[in-house]
Structure 1
């Protein structure tokens, strides 16, 4: 089903284009080639090394006492072998130093476009300013790209910004769906807004709106036990659990000059990735 989901397909294509060696470039479901090349001895060795107590993390959220959680863990995971935490496998990823593009042809009415740049890991100090940029450009009806491309120019059917931060890498991207004949104009409009942000930064009102949007988004994310457990689980893997108040305070500390500096550092037209899925413009 995932192979038929155009949004999932374009993010898979983006990952394999922005990264050349990093494991994140491979789809979660794996590949037939990978399965065919898998040696039983390698699989067994990996399992014995990685599936151990010191390399496991369990996040629990809900109406349950800590003592009961410990008892359940002892009952359910008693057979898990003891072993130390394992460091991530080392990756030598060459920095992106030029534009990269990729296209996957599909006979569909609309074309999806995803264009973005490498940014930073979850622990990097620039992550907070990138979150502000994400909201100023493409989150909500008042965002710059939504107003320009959707409301004014009517060039896209949908548009939003995306940030992803992992243990050692990250990216910022703009995702949109449009008529294939509009691809060139849409891509240029996105780049124009990047350049505008690099020149002018954000206004005081935009900065405050972005901070308010972040706080509201975080509050909504924490509405279910599953969501809270997921958030704490990811943060636990990084050995730094951040509370709601701490996360909001981190974004509140972002200043206008922080946004300008980060925009100039990462929104570069010399090193970006653009991928499309669907039909290309008729020539």
Structure 2
């Protein structure tokens, strides 16, 4: 439930156009974090469209019907503004951070960028070359490629297994007409969410968006196909030039819409989210196998992932995987202690609260909750959910999210398939 104070600070309005506007007024700030988000991402692409949402996000900044790409950059920076974009598996958007006094011109610029992209042929040709270099950089970065391969193992052939950037092959097929039609079909008023956090007037933002954000009136949301359950498998990329191996292991879990996400977050922290965690203590402190070891949780609209990754000398690959599996087996038998739970709970809550000192983090949080849950979740509601947790609630998840030692895996390094076969 919202507190009376939060009811004053956080407001949400669905405009007559269908655009959702959310603000959190923080009058003690002199700046605004502002974003225009679309409930559409890489998972919504067909096989032939892989990477098109990411390309469109790039093209938003390559000129509008009124300004060139250079003019956009100069205008934004002349106002002391940092403006950028992102594409994820389930959403796309642009965001900016600026002084409150520049609200009007920057909000208008952001609306112009997404309302009237020029999608000029010459800019499109150049930007495809830029993204091709981005794809190659991601593929050559062992850690990025490790995660790309992990999601491929987990989800392929579902589009959740595709890289957000797509492939160079699909990228080079996109024509202006294809990009324009994709934009008009998927980036609609009812798919749009505008969020502003900082020294900002809700009423002023609503008026500005209603006037300046001109989008198509396509249906708000195409149905999504839920990923099907798969038998654990692996993806490997042999890199003979490396001396280390980059290893990721994961289990499918429930989605962001499941209330057990709070318990899972604490479980993740206790498993591998801090220096006192089980995996950090075992692999780094006790056995000296790794420098980097961590666990993570990624929750989506209709699925989720609990994962582990570590980096070690390729000769210690088997020892590292075995240590992880052994520690997880012990955990299933021993369960987390009350002391471990208390430590992980405090660390999890502190991480959330410390992050909220950044208005951009608050903006992203509001946008994510609206996209995935279609509602506002206040800080008080979040903390209350964590405070209701018990060690039993966390331990009850263990047989569900870590029922056995059969993990999806990905590896990048000087390994061969025979090195992974003992774990499958």
If the length of structure 1 is used for normalisation, what is the TM-score?
0.91
Residues 246 and 312 of structure 2 are in contact (CA less than 8 Å); yes or no, is this contact kept in structure 1? Answer: yes
Higher CA-based Rg? 2
**Counterpart in 2 of 1:16?**
152
Aligned match of 2:402? 267
Determine helix, strand or coil for the equivalent of 2:326: helix
> What residue in structure 2 maps to residue 52 of structure 1?
188
- Offset at 1:277? 1.1
Q: Deviations over 1:117-173 (max 9, x none)?
A: 000100113322221211111111111111111011001111111100001010001
Q: Give the C-alpha shift of residue 270 in structure 1.
A: 5.7
Matched with 1:4 is: 140
What is the CA-CA distance between 1:104 and the residue it aligns to?
Answer: 1.2
Distance 1:68 1:167 in 2: 31
**CA RMSD across the alignment:** 2.2
1:123 aligns with 2:257: yes
Task: Give the Cα–Cα distance (whole angstroms) in 1 for the partners of residues 336 and 397 of structure 2.
Answer: 12
Residue 331 of structure 2 is matched in structure 1 by: 197
Alignment partner of 1:101 is 2:237: no
In the aligned structure 1, how far is the partner of 2:406 from the partner of 2:260? Answer: 18
Give the drift of 1:219. Answer: 1.1
The equivalent position to 2:375 in structure 1, one of 220, 224, 240, is 240
Aligned-residue offset at 1:68:
2.4
Q: Which residue of 2 aligns with 1:62?
A: 198
Q: 2:311: which partner in 1?
A: 177
Q: Distance in 2 between matches of 1:50 and 1:38?
A: 16
1:45 to partner: Cα distance? 4.6
SS in 1 for 2:251: strand
The aligned runs of 1:78-227 (5 Å cut-off) are: 79-91=214-226, 93-97=227-231, 99-106=232-239, 107-227=241-361
Higher strand share: 2
Query: How many angstroms apart in 2 are the aligned matches of 1:248 and 1:8?
Result: 32
**Which deviates more, 135-144 or 81-90?**
81-90
Greater CA deviation, 273-282 or 243-252?
273-282
Is this contact kept in 1: 2:245–2:411, CA < 8 A?
Answer: yes
Q: Which has the higher contact order (CA 8 A, sep 6+)?
A: 1
Aligned to 2:34: none
User: Secondary structure at the residue paired with 1:141?
Assistant: coil
Stretches (4+) displaced over 4 A:
36-45
TM-score by length of 2: 0.62
Q: Which residue of 2 aligns with 1:71?
A: 207
The runs of 5 or more residues in structure 2 that have no matched partner are: 1-136, 420-424
My pick for the range that moved more, 236-245 or 164-173, is: 236-245
- CA deviation after TM superposition for structure 1 residue 33, in Å: 3.2
Q: After superposition, what is the alpha-carbon deviation per residue over 1:38-82, rounded to whole angstroms, capped at 9, x for unaligned?
A: 6877655543332110111111111111122123323431x2123
Per-residue deviation, residues 215-254 of structure 1 (Å, max 9, x unmatched): 1110122121211111111111121322222222222222
Query: CA separation in 2, counterparts of 1:27 and 1:42?
Result: 20
Q: List alignment gaps of at least 5 residues for structure 1.
A: none
Question: 2: distance between equivalents of 1:140 and 1:198?
Answer: 19
Contact 2:234 2:410 in 1 (8 A): yes
Cα distance between partner residues in 2 of 1:58 and 1:22: 29
Instruction: Work out whether residues 96 and 271 of structure 1, in 8 Å CA contact, stay in contact via their aligned partners in 2.
Output: no
Q: Which moved more, 1:253-262 or 1:219-228?
A: 253-262
In 2: Cα distance, 1:76 partner to 1:176 partner: 47
Q: Distance in 2 between matches of 1:139 and 1:94?
A: 28
